[in-house]
Amino acid sequence: MIAGIDNPANAVEWAMAEILNKADEEVDKVVGKERLVQEQDIPNLNYIKACAREAFRLHPLHSFNPPHLSLSETVVAGYRMPKGSHDILSQRGLGKNPKVWDRPLELRPERHLFTGGDANRCNGSPKEVLLTEPKLRFISFSTGRRGCIRITLGTVMTVMPLARIVQEFLWMKPPELSKISLEKSDRDLSLANLLVVCVKHRLPSRLYVP
């Protein structure tokens, strides 16, 4: 349950700090402004999900996954892994690997929207976006036997808050700030300081009443 809270919250905070306009446009097109985003809208919110994937890739909550024990000798990427060795996946290393990602330090959700062609360069055929990453090009919900058993719940817990706050509010930096700080915390990989912004309603007032 802790992972179910921390990972979505971290992804939403980073995505909110860097990407808004295109997310606004997608939510308005798919859902409109006469009702709130619902769970059944998630399959059609590909750009929102791409923002979450890119936040997972570029800003994981922790540097490393918990260690795993090799039950037999194997070779991974040309490296011999003896039986009994403790193996640790670097979330930062995977997500920012220049051999896998074009311009890996740039936040570009569009790289997750296409299949075929060169997804890194944002071309090819549009595809449905999923938060899982079975090829381990970055860590979202892990994969295989040790993967998250509640991926569907994790997807809803990540996408719904991001989609709702994008749909319901217009986000602006406070007038006293020249820019939003994206400094990382020394404790983990979350933002060092709380994301402070000014907001305005985007929807009819009746939709904000329980």
The per-residue pLDDT for 146 is 66
**Residue 148 annotated in ligand binding:** yes
Q: Binning pLDDT at 50, 70 and 90, where does residue 135 land?
A: confident
Region 14-24 average pLDDT: 68
Q: Is 171 helix (H, G, I), strand (E, B) or coil?
A: strand
Pairing of strands 74-76, 114-115: unpaired
- The residue that leads in pLDDT, 207 or 127, is 207
Q: Is 204 helix (H, G, I), strand (E, B) or coil?
A: coil
Distance CA 179, CA 33 (A): 29
| CB atoms closer than 10 angstroms to residue 207 | 14
* The three-state (H, E, C) secondary structure of 45-58, written as one string: CHHHHHHHHHHHHH
Tokens of 197: 């912004």
- Please name which of 150, 181, 202 lies closest in space to residue 14, comparing C-alpha atoms: 181
Taking only the tens place, the pLDDT of each residue in 93-131 is 989 999 989 999 888 888 898 775 455 555 556 778 988
Tokens of 74: 């194997």
Q: Select from 3.40.50.620, 1.10.630.10, 1.25.40.10, 3.40.50.11540 the CATH code of 2-208.
A: 1.10.630.10
Distance CA 35, CA 173 (A): 26
**Are the C-beta atoms of 31 and 37 separated by less than 8 Å?**
yes
The per-residue pLDDT for 5 is 44
Task: Evaluate if residue 198 carries a pLDDT over 70.
Answer: yes
Judged by average pLDDT, the poorest of 33-37, 107-111, 122-126, 177-181 is: 122-126
Domain ranges of the chain: 2-208
Taking only the tens place, the pLDDT of each residue in 51-92 is 899 888 888 877 888 888 889 999 988 889 999 999 888 888
Distance CA 53, CA 132 (A): 8
